[in-house]
Amino acid sequence: MSPLPRLQKILSERGIASRRQAEELIREGRVTVNGRLARIGDKVDPLRDHLKVDGKLVASPAAKAYLMLNKPKRVVTTAEDPEGRAVVMDLVKSRLPRLFPVGRLDYDAEGILLLTNDGEMAHRLSHPSFQVPRTYWVKVQGKPTPEEVRRLSRGITLEDGPTAPCRIAPRREARENAWLEMTLREGRNRQVKRMWERMGYPVLKLRRVSFAGLSLGSLKAGEYRHLRPSEVEKLKKLTKERELRSFKERPAKGGT
């Protein structure tokens, strides 16, 4: 008999929230299993147990949906915003199961963003351990020297720890600023901006042009499309390879 899955995995598979968001729902006391308050780490039988979120029964998993959106500036990367600002879900008009964004883009940033109800896929694409590549075009105030670019690409220390090595290449320069292309394999909050601010070069514009090997192509700001089956398979293959690599790199228990 296969082991029972954890509650947060079931909630993500059924399109309620990502794994991380599901844990927050559980901590807030908004999830029940067979009438009792759920706890982090609870294991459930998806065929027999009755799961509710905010008192509403959690339905069987919806068909998986995967979208690519070209996020414009001044749009929040959430499903709802307490400040009443426009959110990415306002841009998706088709009749689809509940979706949530994969990772984040800053309010004033633009570019490629994936949306899905596949919680497992969203978790793998977002979690730092999978090292999914993200490529940005960055306009900074001032002109970094080649040595400063090399230093930043090797990794610097921010308030939440050292950054992983990244690839940085010049795109073009103007009289008072410079455009650069950066490829990172981690997605911390405001990471690109914080890295350049630490070096003394404020970010003026930020655009994500590629995520997990997928690019926007001709998709205009505010537009979205469903991923092609080949693109979905590409994402699954990428995260599977990253998972196997991460597993092989783990230290063996009991080793010296």
* Pick from 146, 144, 136: nearest CA to 183: 136
User: Across the chain, what does the average pLDDT equal?
Assistant: 88
Q: What is the pLDDT of residue 106?
A: 92
Query: Is it the case that residue 27 has pLDDT exceeding 60?
Result: yes
Give the pLDDT mean for 229-239: 91
The predicted model scores a pTM of 0.74
Specify the amino acid at residue 190: R
Say whether pLDDT at 117 is over 90. Answer: no
Arithmetic mean of pLDDT, 108-112: 96
Q: Tell me the two tokens of residue 212.
A: 């997990």
Alpha carbon 210 to chain centroid, angstroms = 13
pLDDT reading at 60 higher than 80: no
The whole-number pLDDT of residue 254 equals 46
Confidence class of residue 242 from pLDDT cuts 50, 70 and 90?
Answer: low
Domains of the chain are 7-57 (3.10.290.10), 66-128+214-228 (3.30.70.580), 133-211 (3.30.70.1560)
The percent of residues above 90 in pLDDT, for the chain, comes to 58
**pLDDT > 70? residue 252:** no
pLDDT at position 1 is: 46
Mean pLDDT (whole number) for 55-62: 78
Question: Where residue 72 falls among pLDDT bands split at 50, 70, 90?
Answer: very high
Give me the pLDDT at residue 76, please: 94
The set of residues, in sequence order, having a beta carbon less than 8 Å from that of 71 and lying 6+ positions away, is: 77, 88, 91, 105, 109, 110, 111, 112, 113, 221
> E strands within 117-215?
134-141, 157-158, 161-162, 167-173, 177-184, 203-211, 214-215
Phi, psi of 50 (to 5 degrees): -100, 115
- Paired with 207 in beta bridges are 110, 137
Mean pLDDT value across residues 92-102 = 78
Predicted pLDDT at 201: 97
The pLDDT of residue 255:
41
End-to-end CA distance of the chain: 34
106 catalytic? Reply is yes
Question: Has residue 25 got a pLDDT over 50?
Answer: yes
Average of pLDDT values for 137-145? 96
Task: Provide the β-strand partners of residue 142.
Answer: none
Q: Name the band, by pLDDT with cuts 50, 70 and 90, for residue 248.
A: low
Query: Mean pLDDT across the stretch 93-106?
Result: 80
Residue with tokens 């309620």: 16
Render pLDDT for 164-211 as a digit per residue (tens, 0 to 9): 999 999 998 888 999 999 999 988 889 999 999 999 999 999 999 999
Helix (H) or strand (E) holding 195: helix 191-199
Would the pLDDT of 256 be above 50? Answer: no
List 106, 108, 118, 160, catalytic entry: 106
